[in-house]
Structure 1
Amino acid sequence: MDDLMELRESLGSQRPVAWDQLPDFALYMDQVLSYMDRQVIRFDADDGLTAAMVNNYTKSGLVPRAAGKRYGREHLAYLTAICVLKHVMSTRDIDLLFHEELQGGRTIAQGYGDFCASLDSALTLTAREMEQYTDEEALADAAIHFALISYAAGAASSRYVALLRQRKEQPEKASKPPKKGRKDKEGELSNA
């Protein structure tokens, strides 16, 4: 039960730092990896960010390229969000959300601030829920309870992402010219 108490305490108190508390100087890769260990709650030793992961996120366009192998605030903000979201959604969906969140002149600082506020709310809610499940005899009940919350939240998230993707694809379809019709047997134009 000490593990659960430790997790509940982490969920209740450990948060990524605010935008203005992120380092205002550039970091090298090893410094970034060390910093990210403090930014997110890690569930086991194999759960950390690696240099290969950062490089893959950069190659795929999820994270902006580093300036001469040095990473700044915006990189740390992106990587914080990715390290949390990768547990529950694909990088394709994360990419869509990043682009949507930064529409209309929103800055990375604003998007990161909103992300941190939502994360704080979710972590606080989960820590409070855990207070109801302290009996060692009810571990299975607790696991099922949190799995079902995860299932319900995952279903909602997936639907929101699907609606965003659908909305994004509609203007693309509308901007494509219609296919040219061909003549049928009587010489009439048909779109079949």
Structure 2
Amino acid sequence: MDKIHQMLMELGLDTNIKIDDIPDLDLYMDQVIQLFEKKFGEVKRNDEEKVLTKTMINNYAKGKLFFPITNKKYSKEHIILISLIYQLKGALSISDIKKTLDEVNEKIINGNMELDPFYSAYLNLSSTNAAQFTTDLEEHVKEVEKEVSSLEDDEKEQLEHILLIASLVNMSNFYRRTAEKLVDMIKENKTETK
């Protein structure tokens, strides 16, 4: 269980770009990358992993995941959207992210949405999710330990580790598939309202 607590610390579950982290002035691409690297650099899996690159941002722009930039500068809204994309890309395809954020982008372009309150709500949910995940993981570890205790093997710790990995991936797949179904519902709702 101590290993799990250490791992949770290393995961940086509450690591997010907060609204106060975003300057009020528009940023160039290199400044956006620096902001993300500063915030998420400590929670990268390894040193080779890139938090955000020019290519990634350009691909997001080409894929119309966020509304067009002005004068090669990224506004606070762009940075918020890039932060959401950064979080979503771990589980959703680029096309699903586009479908998810299309309406938000439209509302921003039309001046019908202030993004700060929406993003604050996301950050609040993210913090709640991190706390819930910690509790759930501890319970999950206990369940895995219970299952492994009934096995006859000299290397129960390794089996426990493998079973925990398989079980967490299984849970992750449940959440991802549910998110994908919700993305599909966005598309269905748009079709119905036309």
Assess same fold via TM > 0.5.
yes
What range is the shorter-chain TM-score in?
A: 0.7 to 0.9
Q: Is the 8 A contact 2:16 2:123 kept in 1?
A: yes
> How far does residue 5 in structure 1 lie from its aligned partner after superposition?
4.8
Number of aligned residues? 172
Unaligned runs of 5+ in 2: 146-156
What letter corresponds to residue 118 of structure 1 in structure 2?
L
Seen in structure 2, the aligned counterparts of structure 1 residues 162 and 144 have a Cα distance that, compared at 3 Å, is same
Structure 2 residue corresponding to 1:92, chosen from 92, 95, 116: 95
Other-structure match for 2:169: 147
Other-structure match for 2:19: 19
Structure 2 residue corresponding to 1:68, chosen from 45, 61, 71: 71
Q: Secondary structure at the match of 2:17?
A: coil
Greater helix share, 1 or 2?
2
Q: Using the alignment, how far apart are the partners of 2:120 and 2:12 within structure 1?
A: 18
What letter corresponds to residue 33 of structure 2 in structure 1?
L
What letter corresponds to residue 148 of structure 1 in structure 2?
N
Q: Using the alignment, how far apart are the partners of 2:65 and 2:190 within structure 1?
A: 18
Q: Deviations over 1:9-67 (max 9, x none)?
A: 14455322332442112222222112112444433332421101101111222123333
Other-structure match for 2:118: 111
TM-score normalised according to structure 2 size = 0.73
Q: Using the alignment, how far apart are the partners of 1:33 and 1:4 within structure 2?
A: 31
Other-structure match for 1:160: 182
Seen in structure 2, the aligned counterparts of structure 1 residues 37 and 128 have a Cα distance that, compared at 3 Å, is farther
Q: Secondary structure at the match of 2:169?
A: helix
What letter corresponds to residue 64 of structure 1 in structure 2?
F
What letter corresponds to residue 63 of structure 2 in structure 1?
S
Other-structure match for 2:81: 78
Other-structure match for 1:43: 45
Other-structure match for 1:120: 127
Q: Is the 8 A contact 1:16 1:39 kept in 2?
A: yes
Unaligned runs of 5+ in 1: 173-192
TM-score normalised according to structure 1 size = 0.74
Sequence identity (%): 23
What letter corresponds to residue 96 of structure 1 in structure 2?
K
Aligned-residue CA RMSD in angstroms? 2.8
Structure 1 range deviating more: 31-40 or 10-19? 10-19
